């Protein structure tokens, strides 16, 4: 089980195996990193975004990926929890962040 964050549990917390743009999780969460076409990018819609790959192969939009000040490290939101992930790692660790906007 993931870290308790406020009243939510962080279901994505853990190590993922990176295979190209696919992050394969051990808890049934496979995530796919995609690139948005140039004409569809805005301040809130960044270059990259994440899709959750369901067991039947269907995909569901999760979040935009926001580049941080650290090379390779991105942030995103899932089920009301903000996460960070280092996409430059072959085995990225996804972890929840403390919300500093309170």
pLDDT band at 1 (very low <50, low <70, confident <90, very high): very low
Whether residue 84 contacts residue 69, with contact meaning beta carbons closer than 8 Å, is answered with no
For residue 36, give Cα distances in angstroms to 43, 46, 51, 52, 96. 13, 7, 12, 16, 24
pLDDT digits (tens, 9 = 90+) for 43-100: 778 899 999 998 888 999 999 999 999 999 999 999 889 999 999 999 999 999 876 5
Where are the domains positioned within the chain?
17-96
Q: What is the spatial distance between Cα 33 and Cα 23, in angstroms, rounded to a whole number?
A: 8
Residue 7 pLDDT grade (very low, low, confident, very high; cuts 50, 70, 90) = very low
What length does the chain have?
Answer: 102
Beta bridge partners of 67: 74
Q: Would you say residue 28 has pLDDT above 90?
A: no
């Amino acid at each position: 089980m993931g870290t308790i964050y406020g009243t939510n549990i962080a279901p994505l917390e853990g190590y993922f195996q990176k295979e190209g743009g696919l992050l394969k999780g051990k808890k049934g969460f496979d995530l796919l990193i995609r690139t948005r076409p140039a004409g569809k990018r805005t301040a809130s819609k960044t270059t990259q975004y994440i899709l959750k790959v369901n067991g039947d192969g269907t995909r569901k939009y999760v979040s935009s990926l926001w580049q941080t000040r650290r090379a390779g490290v991105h942030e995103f939101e899932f089920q009301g929890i903000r996460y960070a992930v280092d996409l430059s790692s072959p085995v990225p660790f996804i972890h929840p962040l403390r919300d500093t906007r309170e």
